[in-house]
Amino acid sequence: MADLLDFGSTPLLSLLPEGVSGRLRAAASIVEYDDGETIHSRGDAKPGLSIIRSGAVRFANPGADGSYVTTSILGEGHCFGEATLFARLPRAYDAIAEGQTVIEQITKTRFDRIFNEEPELARALVVAMTQRLYSVLDFLEDVRRLPLDVRTAKLIAGMERTAKHSGAVECSQSDLAFTLGVSRVSIGKALARLQDEGLIELGYGRIGVPDRKNLSDWVAARLPVEPLTRGE
Amino acid sequence: MADLLDFGSTPLLSLLPEGVSGRLRAAASIVEYDDGETIHSRGDAKPGLSIIRSGAVRFANPGADGSYVTTSILGEGHCFGEATLFARLPRAYDAIAEGQTVIEQITKTRFDRIFNEEPELARALVVAMTQRLYSVLDFLEDVRRLPLDVRTAKLIAGMERTAKHSGAVECSQSDLAFTLGVSRVSIGKALARLQDEGLIELGYGRIGVPDRKNLSDWVAARLPVEPLTRGE
DNA sequence: CCCTAATTGCTAATTTCTTAGCATTCTGAC
DNA sequence: GTCAGAATGCTAAGAAATTAGCAATTAGGG
């Protein structure tokens, strides 16, 4: 599954002109990871940009009680490690491959050269970071003012829109609970309510969305403000 | 008071070389607002970048029940409106002047010219957006795994570090409740606990921090992971 | 085809947070 | 100095979420 950062923002690679993404690829060293393999750990200091060529990456940290708290999961075309370059911070999260995953690693030195010579790169990064920031802010606002069933419905609607096979979302209830930061029991109750409304169909490791528009209309009717629509 | 976005990221103006901020200022029209005056409303489509020359701006939206939910407050040197430029979205929040406030408004047309001619601007924006994104992500992670009193202590510690007069934070308990997204009663209880521990001193519209290090040590001891330290 | 691990569904006790009050204290304007 | 508005402190009832279980179902590997 992917999450709000993934489907809420455009992958860096699709924001870049062919020339620049080619230069990045040429400067990168390709590393392949198996499912569950650690790409880097929180605290690692080596700066650089990473781009997900295929597969997905889970970002997580150990919680207080030994549990593992997932912050986000990014898929193909997305980049990570910006903070090591622009905020000079070490890696903030453990990064773990989800499934067979190919990563392009670009060292800070090589990145800086391309960054200085290709203004399109900075432009694309600003766009990507802005979109990510606004999806997280939007999510945070939802946490503050929407009941859990509405937030759950909104998340499912968002995931379904970018899912490979439309009409359903492939993910366990535990994954949803992680993403929304609540317990599995609470998610279970919220999902049961949504199913009672006929908005979703619960399955094993998947949630069916019989009518996309129905679901998003139900969500929209419960938002305190009109959803924004992109210009042009 | 300011909030996590404000003290968690560097203002755009201090990231820009003198030349570029001068060009921006020259291209801008200066608008002055009184306390409480609306700068723009959610849904406004006119794209442009705004820079806070002095004062502060509150970003908020109407909640479901007619209440007003504040998402963030930004102070001097910070910019806003990036999403209108880079995500082609209308304004996502109502923006309201906090105190006498001076704003530089730069139209999209003028901004684009400078953005294309001054690579330093894109670089500074990437840095600012990255920092903001990571402070929000950090906050979100805290929501998921820290009890309220620790989050409250962390927020106060952060605000005190950037406060004008160190040793105290000037803000009401309602403001804290807004920022943390909880009720005033819950904040009251959390603050009472922190006062019992001798970490803070409650006052009227202010919270005293007798020993900054004491407070941050107390917080650090309750974080599940080591705090990150900036390189170099 | 069977068996195991993962996932879901459900319950009950407990904790935490919220809502809705109201009394008290504080500050600054007049 | 007085007074009004703002802020705090406190209470109690109710809602919502959490933890800790356990049983039933499902998918996939061997």
What is the spatial distance, in angstroms and rounded to an integer, between the CA atom of B188 and the C1' atom of C24?
16
Contact B71 A141 (CB under 8 A): yes
- State the Cα–Cα distance between residues A174 and B63, nearest whole angstrom: 29
> Which pLDDT belongs to residue A60?
83
Q: Which residues partner with A68 through β-bridges?
A: A62
% of chain B beyond a pLDDT of 90: 56
Query: Looking at chain B, which residue has its C-alpha nearest residue A133?
Result: B133
Point out the residue nearest to C18 (C-alpha to C1').
B183
Alpha helices in A107-170 (DSSP H): 108-117, 119-145, 148-162
| Crossing angle of helices A119-145 and A18-27, rounded to 10° | 90
Give the model's pLDDT for residue B2: 62
**Helix %, strand %, coil % of chain A (to 5):** 45, 20, 30
Residue A40 in this model has a pLDDT that exceeds 90 = yes
Selection from B103, B129, B101 nearest residue B9 by Cα: B129
Strand partners, B230: none
Burial-class residue B9 by CB neighbours within 10 Å (0-12, 13-18, 19+). buried
Chain B within 8 Å of A221 (Cβ-Cβ)?
no
Q: Residue B166: what pLDDT?
A: 81
The pTM of the full predicted model, rounded to 2 decimals, is 0.91
Residue B195 has pLDDT above 90, yes or no: yes
Q: Do A231 and B115 touch (CB under 8 A)?
A: no
A64/A68 Cα distance (integer angstroms)? 9
Is the distance from CB of A206 to CB of A168 less than 8 angstroms? yes
Q: Which residues contact B207 (CB under 8 A, 6 or more apart)?
A: B156, B168, B169, B171, B191, B200, B201
Task: Please judge whether A181 and B140 are an interchain contact, meaning their C-beta atoms are less than 8 angstroms apart.
Answer: yes
What pLDDT is attached to residue A63? 63
Query: For residue A65, what is the nearest residue in chain B, using CA coordinates?
Result: B224
Chain A residues in contact with B138 (beta carbon < 8 A): 92
B220 at interface of A, judged by CB pairs closer than 8 A: no
Residue B63: the pLDDT is 64
The residue lying closest to nucleotide C9, measuring its CA against C1', is A188
Q: pLDDT for B10-34, tens place per residue?
A: 999 999 999 999 999 999 999 999 8
Asked whether the predicted pLDDT for residue B228 surpasses 80, the reply is no
- Chain A window 84-103: which residues touch B at a Cβ cutoff of 8 Å? 86-90, 92
pLDDT computed for residue B99 by the predictor: 83
CB A177 within 8 A of CB A184: yes
Chain B CB contacts of A83 under 8 Å are: 130-131, 134
Q: What is the mean pLDDT of residues A116-131?
A: 91
Q: Which of B45, B69, B126 comes nearest A141 by C-beta?
A: B69
Q: Which residue in A89, A133, A228 is closest to B129 by CB distance?
A: A133
What was the pLDDT predicted at B155?
93
pLDDT above 80 (res B184): yes
Does A190 have pLDDT greater than 60?
Answer: yes
Nucleic acid strand D: bases within 7 A of protein CB: 6-12, 16-21, 25-27
| Lowest mean pLDDT segment, chosen from A90-94, A126-130, B103-107, B165-169 | B165-169
Record: contact B127-A92, CB cut-off 8 A: no
Per-residue pLDDT band at B145 (split at 50, 70, 90): confident
B164 touches strand D (CB under 7 A): no
Enter the DSSP assignment of A76.
T
Q: What is the mean pLDDT of chain B?
A: 89
Chain A's closest residue to B116, CA to CA, is A119
Q: What is the pLDDT of residues A124-182, one digit of tens each?
A: 999 999 999 998 988 888 888 889 999 999 999 999 988 878 889 999 999 899 888 89
Say yes or no: A185 contacts chain B, CB-CB below 8 A. Answer: no
pLDDT band for A66, please (50, 70, 90 cuts).
low
Determine contact: B148 vs chain A, CB below 8 A. no
Q: What is the pLDDT of residue A69?
A: 74
pLDDT of residue A7: 78
Task: Tell me whether A186 touches chain B (CB under 8 Å).
Answer: no
What is the pLDDT, as a whole number, of residue B65?
60
Token representation of residue B167: 């040793």
Helix (H, G, I), strand (E, B) or coil at B59: strand
Is B161's Cβ below 8 Å from some Cβ in A?
no
How much is the mean pLDDT over chain A?
A: 89
Interchain CB distance below 8 Å, A125 and B127: no
How many percent of chain A have pLDDT more than 90? Answer: 58
- Would the pLDDT of B200 be above 60? yes
pLDDT at A232 over 70: no
Please write the tens of the pLDDT for every residue from B52-110: 999 889 888 876 565 677 788 898 999 999 999 988 889 999 998 988 899 999 999 99
